[in-house]
Each structure stands twice: as structure tokens, then as C-alpha cells.
Amino acid sequence: MLLPFQFLISCLSAVRLVVAIDNSFFTSVDIRDVTTSYRHVLDPEHWFMIEAELFVCAGQDKDVFLSIPEDFTSIAETPFNLLHKSQAVGRVVAQDNIVKISFPNPPSRNITASFKIVAKLSKDALVSIGEPQVVEYVFHSSQGESFKEWLNYVGKSMDEVTVNSGHYEHNRTTWYTVDVPITQLDEPVIIFSEPRTDAYTKIHTDKTRCELVTSVDAFNEATEWVPVKPIEDLSSENAIDMTFDKNLEGFYLRIIYFAERLDRAANSGQVNFQKRLSGEIDSEREASEGADSF
Ligand SMILES: *[C@@H]1O[C@H](CO)[C@@H](O)[C@H](O)[C@H]1NC(C)=O
Ligand SMILES: *[C@@H]1O[C@H](CO)[C@@H](O)[C@H](O)[C@H]1NC(C)=O
């Protein structure tokens, strides 16, 4: 008569085993413009980095979920590791704006872990940001938390030089723009800009063009422009080096150039910009780049 009793015991322990452990919770969610690492966004077409942190309790074996607001799209669906101090403690996979975190090997102790995903704004979301504003995004988790995070969409400065860049993966070409407000052209200036990447890059000098922006939208982005030519152009495959006349009328001068990236490994780089007045460095600015290679 021992056998049925033993059978009952083993059934009970089996039942115990399938009671899922689920005391984990999210502690933070953060969104940033990948290119600048700021929540102030000059170019809403950049990639955004969404970083979530969570407390994972010992033995967690139930999946947890985080919803990403519908405004975000282009989220890669390839699974990747959930990390705790660069050690894999779970698996993360995103699908239809729901991020699922599973624990094939439940952790043996309480830990904190985090993951990052990159996303772009959807076409509808881009259209709805018609003027500079702060937009709030709400993230909900399966564990009951919700996080309200904001991005501040700001207009281009009309006092300072701004630089921007992005990457076309299909032909491995990086584009750069350098926008110089007309107020900065109070004297003839020399504009010097060079892509700075870990790898060697080569500027396609024949594709460089300069435009005088004559009309702008609510974000001071160009809506109308005319081609202009520098009074002197000493540009090479390594750098843009141009001198402009002071007698230009409009909002800003835009230099657009393209560079070929010769090393696939380099996913990020910078633009080095200098404006020189009568041989002296008047201002210098750097902007990071490389977001679009995700
Ligand atoms: C782990 O976290 C759970 C849930 O917050 C808590 O009840 C438990 O005491 C913690 N265990 C240890 C060893 O810190
Ligand atoms: C790469 O593609 C972009 C967009 O299609 C294009 O504007 C650019 O000129 C191309 N670059 C080269 C070197 O062909």
C-alpha cells in the first residue's frame, strides 16, 4: 500500500514545480535620441534608444512583457540576451511592439537586469509632430507598472551651427549636413568639416552641394532653397574646406556631403566642424553620427 502514497507525493511535488515564480518588476524605462543621447530631438527621423531596467527575482520562470507605444516602429524581431553585468540572464524578443522577456534558466538570486532596443517613429507619428513640442510616451508592463517618458522635439537653432548625419546601409554611404546660420556669415568664413570615424572614410567630393535656405518650417527646417557656390573650395577626399561670401541673404547655408565608409566594422563616427574667421578658429562643434546603421 506504499505505492499509491508515493505516487501522490510525487504528484504533489510536480504541482509545486509548475507554480510559476513571478515577483519581478520593471524599475525604469528611458528613451533617447541615439545620435545625440539626449531627450531633446532636433531630427525626429533619427533612431531612438529605449532602455528598460528590471528587478528579476530569484527563480523567476514566468515570462514578463513590456509594451512599446505604437508611435515607435522598425523594432528588430531578432531575439537577444537580457543582461546582468554583461552576463546573459534571460532572452528578449520584440514583436508587434510587445517585448517578451523569458527566463530559460531562472536566476538563483535576486538581480537587476536591463536591455536596449532601437526604434524609429512611425510615419503617422512623424506627421503628428507638426511643431516643436514635448510628447509623452507611456510604457506598460505585465507586472503592473507604467512609465511616462518624454521626448522634446525642438527646432533648429538660428544662432549656432548645427550638424547632422545618417547612413545608407545599401550603398554604405554616410551623409552629412552642416547648417551655418546667416548671422554667422557676417564676415567671409572658412568652413572646415571632416567625418571622424574609427575607419577610413572617403568624401565623394563630386557629390558635395551647397544650398542657401530661403524658407523654413516651424522647426526651422528647410522648405525652400537655392544652390550657392563657395568663393573658394579647397575640399579633398578627407575634408570639406570652403570659403563663403558674407553677402548671402536667407536663413542658413547648408553644406551637404557624402562619404563612403570603407570599413564595415565602424558603426559610429563624428563630424568635426570648424568655422574660421580670418584664419582663426571661431567655433568648433562636434556631432555624433552612426545611428542609422542599426
Ligand atoms: C528577493 O526578492 C523577493 C521579492 O522582492 C524578496 O521577497 C526576497 O526576500 C528576496 N530574496 C533575497 C535573498 O534577497
Ligand atoms: C547612396 O544612396 C543614396 C540614397 O539612395 C544616394 O543619395 C547616394 O548618392 C548614394 N551614394 C552613392 C555613392 O552612390
Which ligand lies nearest to the CA atom of residue 111 in the structure?
Answer: 1
pLDDT, tens only, 51-67:
999 999 999 999 999 99
pLDDT, tens only, 74-131:
999 999 999 999 899 999 999 999 999 999 999 999 999 999 999 999 999 999 998 9
- Edge-to-edge, what's the strand order for the sheet holding 269-277? 232-233, 240-244, 189-197, 269-277, 280-289
For residue 84, CA distances in Å to 51, 52, 143, 213, 255 come to 13, 12, 19, 49, 44
Q: How many angstroms does the Cα of residue 57 sit away from the middle of ligand 1?
A: 7
Q: Would the pTM of this model clear 0.85, i.e. be above it? A: no
Domains of the chain: 19-153 (2.60.40.1280), 162-288 (2.60.40.2430)
Characterize the bridge pairing of strands 133-140 and 64-67.
unpaired
Q: Is 23's C-beta closer than 6 angstroms to any atom of ligand 1?
A: yes
The better pLDDT of the pair 123, 11 is held by 123
* Structure confidence at residue 266 (pLDDT): 43
Q: Is 87's C-beta closer than 6 angstroms to any atom of ligand 1?
A: no
Q: Is 206's C-beta closer than 6 angstroms to any atom of ligand 2?
A: no
Share in percent of the chain as helix, strand, coil (round to 5) = 10, 50, 35
Share of the chain above pLDDT 90, in %: 51
